[in-house]
Amino acid sequence: MAALKAHEVARFLNRPDLDEGIFLAYGPDGGLVRETAQRLIRHFGAGDAAADVTIFDGPELAADPSLLVLEARSVSLFGGKRIIRVRNATKALVMPLTELRDDPGGAVIVLEADNLPPRDALRALVEAAKLGRALPCYPDTDETLASLMRDSFNQAGIRIDGDVIPTLRDILGNDREVTRREIEKLSLYAAASKELTREDVLLLCADNGALAIDAILDATGSGQAERLELALNRALSANVNPQQLLAMLNTHFANLRRWRVEVDAGKGARAVLDGQRPKPHFSRIGALEQQLRLWSDAALAVATERLLQAVSDSRRKPALAETVLRRTTLALCMMAATH
């Protein structure tokens, strides 16, 4: 069997053990599938100025499977390596690939496919072929993402603060293509200074509207009036709906009250927050702990009642929603500041 485990793919790409054959990159991470195919093509075309790369799309070959065999059997015009890349490959290619499986004629056939179950005919054919390698491309884990980021910044000679990687990881998720693009953007940004901070990551990569919303929630709950004003202005200038903000504030204070019950029962604030699913972003933990210290259950009950009334008022009079939002958040902010 020529099936590689996901953790073996990177090592294989550094040193493929075949000079010809069928290579299948497949999996749910489309960005990683494309990156894997590109690395294979670069490897087999490296040092060969006459290398000939032909690109097909799966549906095109499904309509006429013989094109794949004809292309693989053709002699390169300049005598270089013949490389065939097939995007969106499916089991419709099984018949022509069966003809090429044992004798690819020196050609390299790189297939890109979606996630394929073990019994898929295309995957089974490549895994069973002596001159075939199937390369699974699954979403990165926290560990592999961190390693990718760290290695990329090290290669660029960029020093990063300790919270750059966890911040970037939380913002980006685990699509390899998106991650690569954002790393390149950050590396270009830090090309002169050779330094990268969490603030740089938030500035260049984060959803500023989402950041402003978090700032509103935490400034209101922490009694920080100046920060609240700045955050409100940012969110509203980004066309965030005031009614949506009031609803989110209502949810935030309801969560604070629910967490406060656990704190009153003797559980530490950090332990309460660590036990939430999904867990609050690490950058907000300190602010949320402070809010749990500032607000009693009775005060949170008053705040929640006030927010419910504000939500109702904004729905009855949408034209006054921003006024209601500003008045309510400032009142709550003052309540927090007086505790």
Per-residue confidence (pLDDT) for residue 214, from 0 to 100 = 84
- pLDDT class for 339, splitting at 50, 70, 90? low
- Span 13-32, mean pLDDT? 92
- DSSP assignment of 202-215 equals HHHHS-HHHHHHHH
The CATH 1.10.8 portion of the chain extends over 142-205
When the candidates are 1.10.260, 1.10.1200, 1.10.3470, 1.10.8, the CATH number that belongs to 142-205 is 1.10.8
Whether pLDDT at 321 is above 80: yes
Encode pLDDT of 24-76 as tens digits: 999 988 888 999 999 999 999 886 665 788 999 988 898 898 899 999 888 76
Q: Which two tokens stand for residue 308?
A: 């419910």
Q: Worst-scoring range by mean pLDDT, 73-77, 243-247, 317-321?
A: 73-77
The CATH 3.40.50.300 portion of the chain extends over 6-136
Per-residue confidence (pLDDT) for residue 2, from 0 to 100 = 59
DSSP letter (8 states) at residue 3: B
Give 235's contacts (C-beta < 8 A, 6+ positions apart): 209, 212, 213, 216, 245
Q: Worst-scoring range by mean pLDDT, 181-190, 253-262, 285-294?
A: 181-190
Whether pLDDT at 178 is above 80: no
CATH top class, domain 208-337? mainly alpha
- Span 189-212, mean pLDDT? 80
- Span 2-12, mean pLDDT? 83
Query: How many CB atoms lie under 10 A from the CB of residue 38?
Result: 14
Q: Worst-scoring range by mean pLDDT, 89-103, 150-164, 278-292?
A: 278-292
- Span 171-187, mean pLDDT? 81
Report the C-alpha gap between 279 and 104 in whole angstroms: 51
Residue 124 in 3-state DSSP? helix
The CATH 1.20.272.10 portion of the chain extends over 208-337
Architecture of domain 6-136: 3-Layer(aba) Sandwich (3.40)
Whether pLDDT at 1 is above 60: no
Per-residue confidence (pLDDT) for residue 203, from 0 to 100 = 76
- pLDDT class for 3, splitting at 50, 70, 90? confident
Encode pLDDT of 79-103 as tens digits: 678 999 999 999 999 999 999 998 9
- pLDDT class for 130, splitting at 50, 70, 90? very high
Q: Which two tokens stand for residue 36?
A: 């894997």
